[in-house]
Chains A and B, each alone.
Chain A
């Protein structure tokens, strides 16, 4: 089942573009809440865990096997992610894949955090991997591992909408001042 966005993203984005460069806190927060439906989907949270262990499936059960982040998000010494996750989703075994498959960094842990906390993290170059806002927006809109969330294969529910819509929402959020939800 695909969760549809409550507000048509295109409409929001158009309005936001028309009012470009005009900080608008309420609108910005509303836009981030829209984007949050993607950020807080199991497709994103499973690989942005709090703690060492990722989760899996729509129910976000602990990853089997027991695996940990490791030094660089690519798994522990001796059992890298690509022992199982290869360059593409593999229907025969049900194991998802991507050339860059790895976990989000601990400083970008989202699972269990509020949308406000996630927002503050995302904006903070000290925690988001040193990305400034343009780089961050490009990452969200174009990175192909982020894009996996919309083509996860198997029984996995894709993230809502499309990556392009998500990128546009994030851009509109930035254009309206990149305000974060208070909670």
Chain B
């Protein structure tokens, strides 16, 4: 089926089986390779993209269900929270192998959009769906706190 998708501020047309997971449409039809395949079943979060402000697992969303939803991938992130998160991630040298990091960053952006000053517990609850086998969780936590401070600005 032909579908019109709204991705990263642009309108893209694809012709795919509507039951295909959004993840594979992003990667193979649109060349947006920053979104990763990890488990295919929403256990690991490597494929997380934003639909509106929701950190959607793109492996578990049929592309036909997207409707007029607005999708943002790691390649298209913009806005205050996104820039604060990306800055904090780079300053904190968060990644090790880096494979999960697109998903981690999308999860952190969604968290900060929903909660301006998350506690450790808030971070645990919102980010536990983004697995990191290198376990760079200490730096993920620090980077989210740093991004939150950055967003608050100087007092």
Contacts and interface: CB of A to CB of B under 8 A. Distances in A.
Contacts of A78: 55, 107, 110-115, 118, 122, 125-127
Given A77-B122, A78-B110, A90-B61, A83 B56 contact: yes
Interface in B36-94: 40-43, 45, 48, 54-57, 59-62, 65
A80 interface: yes
A76 B84 CA distance: 21
B150 to A, nearest CB: 17
A109 to B, nearest CB: 18
Given A86-B65, A93-B41, A93-B60, A65 B55 contact: no
Nearest to A76: B125
Contacts of B48: 83
Interface residues of B, number: 35
A77 B111 CA distance: 6
A65 B118 CA distance: 19
A87 B54 contact: no
A92 interface: yes
A87 B67 CA distance: 12
A16 to B, nearest CB: 42
Interface of B: 19-21, 40-43, 45, 48, 54-57, 59-62, 65, 107, 110-115, 118, 122, 124-131
14 contacts: A65-B129, A77-B115, A78-B118, A78-B122, A78-B126, A79-B129, A83-B54, A86-B60, A86-B61, A87-B65, A92-B20, A92-B21, A92-B62, A93-B40
